[in-house]
Structure 1
């Protein structure tokens, strides 16, 4: 969910973004440049979307609705390829079964989950398909590679880049050679856990959502796998998945576990150990519950016990809590100032840092303490907080140059080789610095993993920001102006080249 307080700022920014025309080629279907297709109006009654789900929540989310909007991508000429894929999947899953019709695609739509008719909680793209012998067998499938919300890209890029840099073998998890235990607190439309399950073969993902209406909306209208829903007893709510759901989700839904539960109760009562935890738990009134960040709360202290002691990483989505001025219309959006950290957001950051890392880690140069940092997502007035227990353990120290080198290299690169890209400039800076070869290898390996994982999401959303704010215990340090991302000319490129050699 993004901040309601910044909606006017976002609208002004969007006008600025879309007055110059779209680039000739965009590889990422979730690119922000497609947001006019699904943004709609501030009021559901005035929106040009069709309401496909509407119900009242008794868990603080007010009226929960899902609106549908036409999607321009993928183009119809590409549908036959997907139909062929569905048919091949059917034959692989049900070998020897009598042919019972071909799969046909009806089309693609954006689906937007809203709270109280105006707060856009989640956005997903769905595909509708059926078998031509059973026209009534229509099923919708959320497209896991399409991430429309910039802050979701930020959370994923930041979280995966950090854990890959924390002495955790993420590539082994990607290829299914080891289990990666993930917890998502707050479900929404389910785009984040679905992306993780589809891209990381070894991921086992537990999702905790307090509101049954939100769960129903995600399954019925957002295309989330229905067989992932769990009962209070711990069994699958849908004991037998139908044929079309198996075709769409086999290999993915078996590793997704969606629980209807209060986050605090879930964390206190279970004994699972998680490698990485994602938290996005704002309610319909745009409030991040105090019990989820109070340093004295059972939740945060139990969360510390549930987090892996060596490489455990937590990523939290936070909304801007200070005045956001309108952007300068004469300045490109990539030059806009980063979001300020107000008292509330700063308090949340400090609480997570103190409880998960320890307030005794007072030295910036102290090894083995882990790291906390925040990344601004100005486009939607959100901030991503990450706290990691493992960052810097393998290299023996953490400093600004190491953090900058590792995280920027992990976020993806531009397609330019002219020496002006952020990665090229930072590579030169790193090669001329005193960073150890071990640290360079960590950054290099993590970059390869992250680029492979995030190739389908396009540029990491936080690259659209202008400054990284590093919260290395216990200081917040603003990076030098000449290290800003504002000079980037971001391209949508697929980064599928060979593994880069160690620097």
Structure 2
């Protein structure tokens, strides 16, 4: 009986391990792929964006790293999905850095170009791919809390039957707001980023939708989306708004009420600003109201 019990237990463990391995292969953002961008050799990556920040973040740069996934079959499917208007080159990791050493964000982008115009590069950030573990934890914790506090509202929002308002403080490469917008069809997502250089890096080099950018007057910087936006984002870009503003100023002046707020803001020294977490600061008091 003891031998049979051990055999049964070992069989269950093997099945459980196999299931985990399959999930790893299906998740392009799994940590098993981190070696492609975390400790990548300098010879295998290239700088695709580099500008000086005037908001205390020093040198803001984006590095491109080769990605092993998806394979050729998936790229062919992507070309069909792009209605054969673009030729898919492949996918790359893009990492955002401050002052050369602090890694602020990691995203995966689809790289393509027009068939008749090879120099016209198209970048589409892959919203399903969350490469950094703490980002997955943030989103999981936030959405679990939202679901627990109002399960029906959350369920309806996921299905696009009801709207919810989300606010992201700190933009980085934009993986958190883009994930929320694409996966929750009823989510209207506002993102606040202090540094215009970071915004430029995410749009120019990390495949974040340019149509999301909001001017100081409150209007879209681009009045109409590019025709390709409808193909890439399936209307999600209409629910995504990116504000260039100080977080405290934005919170004190806005009249919006948010269902969920995610704060992920660090400066060039990789320090979380005191004014965004101290309970006696205006920012936290405004959130309480």
TM-score, normalization by structure 2? 0.88
2:105, 2:173 within 8 Å by CA — same for their partners in 1? yes
1:107 partnered with 2:90: yes
1:204, 1:255 within 8 Å by CA — same for their partners in 2? yes
Q: Secondary structure of 1:165's match? A: helix
Alignment of 1:51-90 (within 5 A): 51-87=47-83
1:292 partnered with 2:267: no
User: Displacement of 1:240 after TM fit?
Assistant: 3.0
CA RMSD of aligned residues (A): 1.7
User: Displacement of 1:47 after TM fit?
Assistant: 6.3
Q: Secondary structure of 1:266's match? A: helix
Q: Distance in 1 between matches of 2:178 and 2:43?
A: 27
Q: Greater strand percent: which structure?
A: 2
Q: Greater helix percent: which structure?
A: 2
Q: Distance in 2 between matches of 1:241 and 1:138?
A: 17
Q: 2:37 is matched with which residue?
A: 38
1:54, 1:63 within 8 Å by CA — same for their partners in 2? yes
Alignment of 1:392-403 (within 5 A): none
Q: Distance in 1 between matches of 2:237 and 2:180?
A: 11
Q: 2:102 is matched with which residue?
A: 119
Q: 1:28 is matched with which residue?
A: 27
Q: 2:126 is matched with which residue?
A: 143
Alignment of 1:10-409 (within 5 A): 23=21, 26-40=25-39, 46=42, 48-87=44-83, 102-168=85-151, 169-305=153-289
Q: Distance in 2 between matches of 1:192 and 1:153?
A: 9
2:110, 2:124 within 8 Å by CA — same for their partners in 1? yes
Q: Distance in 2 between matches of 1:167 and 1:40?
A: 41
User: Displacement of 1:288 after TM fit?
Assistant: 1.3
User: Displacement of 1:249 after TM fit?
Assistant: 2.0
2:44, 2:66 within 8 Å by CA — same for their partners in 1? no
Residues 130 and 245 of structure 1: is their aligned pair in 2 closer, same or farther, counting only changes over 3 Å?
A: farther
Q: 2:11 is matched with which residue?
A: none
Q: Distance in 1 between matches of 2:266 and 2:108?
A: 22
Q: Distance in 2 between matches of 1:81 and 1:57?
A: 39
1:40, 1:48 within 8 Å by CA — same for their partners in 2? no
1:102, 1:133 within 8 Å by CA — same for their partners in 2? no
User: Displacement of 1:23 after TM fit?
Assistant: 4.9
Q: Distance in 1 between matches of 2:190 and 2:201?
A: 18
TM-score, normalization by structure 1? 0.52
Deviations 1:387-427 (Å, cap 9, x if unpaired)?
A: xxxxxxxxxxxxxxxxxxxxxxxxxxxxxxxxxxxxxxxxx
Q: Distance in 2 between matches of 1:240 and 1:72?
A: 35
Q: Distance in 2 between matches of 1:175 and 1:77?
A: 29
Unaligned regions of 5+ residues in structure 1, if any? 1-21, 88-100, 306-503
Unaligned regions of 5+ residues in structure 2, if any? 1-19
Q: Secondary structure of 2:177's match? A: helix
Q: Distance in 2 between matches of 1:23 and 1:270?
A: 46
Q: Secondary structure of 1:26's match? A: helix
Q: Distance in 2 between matches of 1:109 and 1:75?
A: 12
| Rg larger for | 1
Aligned residues: 268
